[in-house]
Amino acid sequence: MKKGNINNIKLIKGIALFLMIISSLLSGCLSENSDDDANVTLNIVSYDALGISQDLLDQFTNDTGINIEITRAGDAGGVLSMAIQTKNTGLFDVSIGIDNSYLGTALVADIFEPLDTNREIFSERALSSYNGNLAIPFDLGSVCINYDSSYVDGENISVPTSLWNFTESQWEGKIAIENPRTSSPGRAFFISTIDYFDNDEDEETNYINWWDNMKDNNVIITDSWTTAYETHYTGGYGQWGEGFIGDAHAVVSYCHSPGVEAYYGGNWTTSVALDLEGASFSQIEYISMLKGTEKKSSVNIFVDWLASYEINSQMSTINWMYPSIIGGNLTETSGYRWHSLVPVDCEIEISDIDENIAYWLDEWDITMA
């Protein structure tokens, strides 16, 4: 089949899925109660990997009378697209998962309403990219490459000491990276490569040269973190799931992802975060109220609940990320914190990202085409 035909089919399927979601939500909105009624339902758009359990949401509903319905839109790029496409319709009340690499685009699109949450409860890191009331940080973590130590044994395959090592033959077709157009971890890592190669010793090459070499080395590009980690990565829990391929011995994930693996593996995992200075990005994820909602009071109650000490302090086992509140940390249970790398992240200003991200992504598209 020709590439153009494949793209047309994907576009038609995407439009059909979007129309199905909108039709379903619209039918619900026609009978939805207002914010003043006893049984309010908040419609939330989030990413596929959101870990907040139904039991926890049911607890919130029992305590407040506010029901929660979540629509999953792939990764952060899908969340942003859905929020923009439904702006001012009232179909969604809340977005969860737009991060600091996407936030500038969201703010320009003017899709958020101000929230009442007290920002003094959040850590300096949580507020480092944005300290306004349109996006409230609910969790955070550093994005970096994880590798399977059963493949990288230090003898036959050495631990990479540079991103250039992944362009070598032993890594051909063996690393999965998320598309920076659609995935927040993918975009976060992509941004880190820009800063990494701007500051390395080789003044003759930049991020485009590296990505070009990665393309030649058959890097696996996926649309979402879920696909990269669960389907392709040999060092993670995906190996016990349906549809597992297991062709990647390295993946872009979080520097604390091995800690999550250890938490469920009885303080054991073969997954390791690559400790490579400047090759990671400090990601902050936000929750926001969407323009068009008529349930502002209920949205504020939900956001304050997610930011409360009772809930947010447990974020490492609720959504597998660091808490955003002051004093928050990963649990130490079953080696979670011990197996989690605290990296030296890249240093790139959010203003630089907002100003240049469109150009950088266009260059990436051309390189990877």
Spans of all domains in the chain: 3-141+285-332, 142-281+336-368
| Fold agreement (3-141+285-332, 142-281+336-368) | yes
Residue 3 scores a pLDDT above 60: no
Position 13 scores a pLDDT of: 41
Distance between CA 3 and CA 278 in Å, rounded?
A: 37
Q: What is the pTM of this model?
A: 0.88
Residue 9, phi-psi category: left (phi > 0), alpha (psi -120 to 50), beta (remainder): alpha
Distance between CA 330 and CA 267 in Å, rounded?
A: 14
Task: Tell me the CB-side half-sphere exposure of residue 100, using CA atoms within 13 A.
Answer: 30
Average pLDDT over all residues of the chain = 91
Residue 82 scores a pLDDT above 70: yes
Residue 58 scores a pLDDT above 80: yes
Burial code of 247-273, b = ≥16 C-beta within 10 A, e = fewer?
Answer: ebbbbbbbbbbbbbbbbebeeebbbbb
Mean pLDDT computed over 143-152:
98
What six digits make up the tokens of 99?
A: 């991060």
Closest CA relative to residue 42, chosen from 52, 168, 327, 19: 52
CATH label, 142-281+336-368, candidates 3.30.565.10, 3.30.70.580, 3.40.50.2300, 3.40.190.10: 3.40.190.10
CATH label, 3-141+285-332, candidates 3.40.190.10, 3.40.640.10, 1.10.287.70, 3.40.50.720: 3.40.190.10
Which amino acid does the sequence have at 198? Answer: D
The DSSP bridge pattern shows strands 112-113 and 175-178 to be unpaired
Residue 42 scores a pLDDT above 50: yes
Position 30 scores a pLDDT of: 36
Which amino acid does the sequence have at 139? Answer: D
